[in-house]
Structure 1
Amino acid sequence: MVSHLFYLLKSKPFLVLLLLINIPGTIYGYYWYGWQLADTEPIFLLFVPDSPTASLFFCFVLLAFLFKKNWPLMEGLAAVTLFKYGIWAVVMNALVMIETNQLSPIAIMLILSHLGMAIEGLLFTPFYKIKRWHLVAVAIWTLHNDVIDYVFGQMPRYSILSEYTSLIGYFTFWLSLVSLTIVYFLAVRKERFKLSIQ
């Protein structure tokens, strides 16, 4: 069963399918942030659309796999940010539904799509070739993004949750550390399970 799963993960049709799902999802994600990006200072633009940028990283990883290559730094960025922002969005949208006491179809769509993001990045960890220095670079990017979001006020805007911004920032910081730790154990440490995309 496990061997069939790994065969599926590295098969060209499956990689193409994931790419065809993630490319429009990434584009839609940037469109979703359009109104906030229009109101963002240029210096912060790179750090606002967290989820679509995570998905963009993963698109590059999939493209590399299709050419039977690894792009370790991109793999690290994809794995950590897909899990982090996937889980983050699930929690935020669940909180919005709790606050509003409404079962919103849009919130459910966002929860399911972001849960898929969190899962897909980790599914491929046996194929990644991330080294420690890659993960250090990813940690700098990820924690720096948290500073931009919660010190400079560039976090994704959920007006309903605005009174909880400090708590959300605290949660996000620890979610970053958890995400980095998970990727370390699954994709970096010497004792991890490894497979080849070749």
Structure 2
Amino acid sequence: MLPFVPDSPTASLFFSLSILYLLFAPQGKSPFVRWAQMIINALAVVCSIKYGVWATAIIIAGALQGEPLNWQSYMLMASHLAMAVEVTLYARFMKLGTISFLLATAWLLLNDTMDYTFGIYPWLPSTLQDNVDAVKLFTYLLSLTSLVIGYISWKAARKQA
């Protein structure tokens, strides 16, 4: 189950690989390399948007139910929101496609299913432990919303180019 556990670190890994693709563009016309790049880029976009928003929303939801906020909470919210903003800014430079976005979203939905079927979902504030079903629904909806936001930001940026 290891591939399904580190959600935000995995999103950061995909984004780092996308940056490497931008800095060191693959040479040649191999369809495998092209598709791998597009899928990694799409994973970077949808995962970074999802987990950037998810972590922030969960921390805020916990605080609204009485979980105390501390400096780590604010640091986590700032860094996770930065993930989401950063990837939407870089999406314009990435090689992406509709199919790669759909595959990346399928991965997110599989990851959500693994998280909430086997109880390996990310940390939740103690005040949200009795709201796991609501968090689960929010998580699935956020996966689909990440597809929409990522796709729109990519398409909008391409129209301007």
TM range (shorter): 0.7 to 0.9
Alignment of 1:41-120 (within 5 A): 44-69=1-26, 71-100=37-66, 102-120=68-86
Which residue identity does 1:78 align to in structure 2?
Answer: A
Aligned equivalents of 1:103, 1:147: Cα separation in 2: 29
Contact 1:97 1:107 in 2 (8 A): no
Contact 1:97 1:104 in 2 (8 A): no
User: Shift of residue 102 of structure 1?
Assistant: 2.5
User: Shift of residue 130 of structure 1?
Assistant: 1.0
Aligned equivalents of 1:138, 1:102: Cα separation in 2: 34
* TM-score, normalising length: structure 1: 0.70
Contact 1:126 1:193 in 2 (8 A): no
Does 2:121 correspond to 1:164?
no
1:130 to 92, 96, 99: 96
Does 2:110 correspond to 1:153?
no
Match in the other structure for 2:31:
none
* TM-score, normalising length: structure 2: 0.85
Contact 1:130 1:188 in 2 (8 A): no
User: Shift of residue 135 of structure 1?
Assistant: 1.4
**Helix, strand or coil at the partner of 1:154:** coil
Unpaired runs of 5+ residues, structure 1, are 1-43
Match in the other structure for 1:143:
109
Cα shift readout 1:48-88 (whole Å, capped 9, x = no counterpart)? 11001000000001111111457211110000000000000
Query: What is the root-mean-square deviation of aligned Cα atoms in Å?
Result: 1.9
Contact 2:38 2:96 in 1 (8 A): yes
> Percent of counterpart pairs with the same letter?
37
- Return closer, same or farther for 1:73/1:93 CA change in 2, 3 Å cut-off: same
With a CA cutoff of 8 Å and minimum separation of 6, indicate the structure with the bigger relative contact order: 2
- Return closer, same or farther for 1:188/1:142 CA change in 2, 3 Å cut-off: farther
Aligned equivalents of 1:159, 1:188: Cα separation in 2: 36
Unpaired runs of 5+ residues, structure 2, are 27-33
Match in the other structure for 1:18:
none
Which residue identity does 2:15 align to in structure 1?
Answer: F
Aligned equivalents of 1:165, 1:48: Cα separation in 2: 17
**Helix, strand or coil at the partner of 2:159:** coil
